[in-house]
C-alpha cells in the first residue's frame, strides 16, 4: 500500500465498510491476526503514527517488532535499505515503513517478500492519513460527495491536504475552498486535478470569508517562516486561526478536522465545541488502519504493481528522492495522468536527458 489512489472506489468502499464494522464490533476481531507479526520500520520518529499502527495490529491480536529511530539502532549503519527489507520481510507478515526520503517505500517494495504499507515517505505520500480523513468523513457525514470542503493553512507544501483533495475529487459534487496566502496556495497540478474532475474550486483569503458555506473544514498549520515577511505574518496570522468567534458563522454540522499535531491554528477553546472532531479523527484512524492491515493479511490486498513501469534511462533529479541515497536502485519511470514521464519512486518529472545531480 504505497498510494491510496492505486485502489479502485470499490476497494475503498470495502475498506471503509470493514473499518466501520471493526469499530462497532471490536471484540469480534481481537484474534484475527493471531500469530502474525507487523514490523514497524520508522527511519524517522513519528510516535503518533507508530502508536496508531501498533494499537491497530495489537487490537487484531497480532504482534509488533521494529524500531522507532535508526539513530539508536544498528540498522542503516552501512546496510542498504534493500538488504534490511529482505531480512525483515523474512521475519514479518507485513511491514509498515516511514522514511524521510521520497519514494523510499516504493523502493522497499521492490525487495520485500511481504506486503508493505507506506506510513509516510518524506513530503511525498502519507496514504493512511488520507484513509483516516476519509473514514472520519464517511462516519460523520454518511457520505463522501456533495460537500463543501474547506482546506486551510499551508496548501503549497501540505502533503495531507494534497492527498485529501485528490481523494475527494473521486466523489461527485464536492466543492473545494482553498484558504491560504497567495504564497502558500495549492500547486497548479492540484488545481488541475480539481477542475478536470469537474469539481468547483474557490480560493479564499480567510476562514471568515467562507466558513458559513462549509460542511468540512480541514485545518493545517502555516509555519511562521512560510509567510513572505515578518510583517505579513503579524498582519495575517489570525486570519488562519480557527477560534470560537469565527465558528459562530459556521453550520451546526460543520466537521472540523486536523491531521494533528495542532500547534496554535485552532484555539483550545474550540476543543469543547461538538463540531471539533480532530481527536475523534485520530481514533477513527486506528480503526481505518485495522481494516487496512486485516485486508492485507487476510485478503492478500497486495501492493499494486506498476504494470506501466518502464526503464527511466536517466537519474531522477529530485534531491529528496530515495534514488539519491540508495544508488543501486534501477532507474525506473512511469507516465503520469498528464502524460509526463516521472520517476517511479518519487513521482517527480524526469529530465529529458541525463542531467547533473545538484
Least distance from C-beta 33 to a copy of itself, angstroms? 11
Least distance from C-beta 26 to a copy of itself, angstroms? 7
Least distance from C-beta 177 to a copy of itself, angstroms? 26
Residue closer to a copy of itself by CB (options 190, 288) is 288
Least distance from C-beta 95 to a copy of itself, angstroms? 11
Residue closer to a copy of itself by CB (options 128, 148) is 128
CB-count burial class (<10 Å; 0-12, 13-18, 19+) for 111:
middle
Least distance from C-beta 44 to a copy of itself, angstroms? 8
Residue closer to a copy of itself by CB (options 85, 250) is 85
Least distance from C-beta 86 to a copy of itself, angstroms? 4
Task: Label residue 203 left, alpha or beta by phi (over 0 means left) and psi (-120 to 50 means alpha).
Answer: beta
Least distance from C-beta 71 to a copy of itself, angstroms? 8
Least distance from C-beta 151 to a copy of itself, angstroms? 21
Residues that bind a copy of itself (CB under 8 A): 26-27, 30, 34-35, 37, 39, 45-48, 51-52, 54-55, 58-59, 61, 63-75, 77-79, 82-83, 86-88, 90-92, 260-263, 268, 279-280, 282-283, 286, 328
Residue closer to a copy of itself by CB (options 118, 148) is 118
Cα 323 from Cα 43, distance rounded (Å): 16
Cα 95 from Cα 42, distance rounded (Å): 10
Residue closer to a copy of itself by CB (options 13, 47) is 47
Reference 217, options 287, 288, 156, 136; nearest CA is: 136
- Torsion angle, alpha carbons of 215, 221, 225, 227, to 10: 10
Residue closer to a copy of itself by CB (options 110, 185) is 110
Residue closer to a copy of itself by CB (options 267, 336) is 267
Residue closer to a copy of itself by CB (options 176, 287) is 287
Amino acid at each position: 500500500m504505497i498510494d491510496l489512489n492505486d485502489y479502485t472506489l470499490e476497494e475503498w468502499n470495502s475498506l471503509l465498510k470493514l473499518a466501520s464494522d471493526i469499530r462497532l464490533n471490536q471484540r469480534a476481531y481481537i484474534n484475527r491476526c493471531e500469530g502474525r507479526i507487523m514490523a514497524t520500520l520508522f527511519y524517522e520518529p513519528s510516535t503518533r503514527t507508530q502508536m496508531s499502527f501498533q494499537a491497530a495490529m495489537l487490537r487484531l491480536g497480532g504482534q509488533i517488532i521494529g524500531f522507532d529511530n535508526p539513530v539508536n539502532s544498528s540498522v542503516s549503519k552501512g546496510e542498504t535499505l534493500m538488504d534490511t527489507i529482505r531480512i525483515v520481510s523474512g521475519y514479518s507478515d507485513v511491514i509498515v515503513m516511514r522514511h524521510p526520503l521520497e519514494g523510499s517505500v516504493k523502493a522497499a517494495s521492490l525487495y520485500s517478500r511481504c506486503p508493505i504499507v507506506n506510513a509516510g515517505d518524506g513530503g511525498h505520500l502519507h496514504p493512511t492519513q488520507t484513509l483516516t480523513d476519509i473514514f472520519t468523513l464517511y462516519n460523520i457525514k454518511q457520505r463522501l460527495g456533495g460537500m463543501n470542503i474547506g482546506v486551510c493553512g499551508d496548501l503549497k507544501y501540505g502533503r495531507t491536504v494534497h492527498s485529501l483533495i485528490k481523494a475527494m475529487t473521486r466523489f461527485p459534487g464536492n466543492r473545494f475552498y482553498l484558504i491560504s496566502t497567495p504564497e502558500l496556495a495549492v500547486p497548479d497540478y492540484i488545481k488541475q486535478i480539481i477542475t478536470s474532475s469537474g469539481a468547483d474550486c474557490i480560493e479564499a483569503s480567510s476562514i471568515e470569508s467562507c466558513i458559513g458555506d462549509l460542511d468540512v473544514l480541514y485545518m493545517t498549520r502555516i509555519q511562521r517562516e512560510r509567510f513572505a515577511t515578518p510583517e505579513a505574518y503579524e498582519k495575517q496570522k489570525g486570519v488562519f486561526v480557527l477560534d470560537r468567534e469565527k465558528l459562530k458563522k459556521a453550520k451546526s454540522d460543520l466537521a472540523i478536522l486536523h491531521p494533528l499535531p495542532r500547534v496554535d491554528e485552532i484555539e483550545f477553546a474550540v476543543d469543547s465545541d461538538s463540531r471539533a472532531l480532530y481527536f475523534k479523527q485520530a481514533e477513527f484512524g486506528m480503526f481505518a488502519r485495522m481494516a487496512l492491515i486485516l485486508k492485507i493479511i487476510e485478503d492478500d490486498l497486495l501492493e499494486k504493481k506498476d504494470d506501466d513501469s518502464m526503464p527511466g534511462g536517466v537519474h531522477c533529479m529530485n534531491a529528496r528522492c530515495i534514488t539519491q541515497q540508495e544508488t543501486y536502485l534501477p532507474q525506473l519511470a512511469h507516465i503520469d495522468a498528464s502524460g509526463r514521464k516521472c520517476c517511479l519512486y518519487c513521482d517527480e518529472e524526469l529530465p529529458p536527458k541525463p542531467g547533473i545531480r545538484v
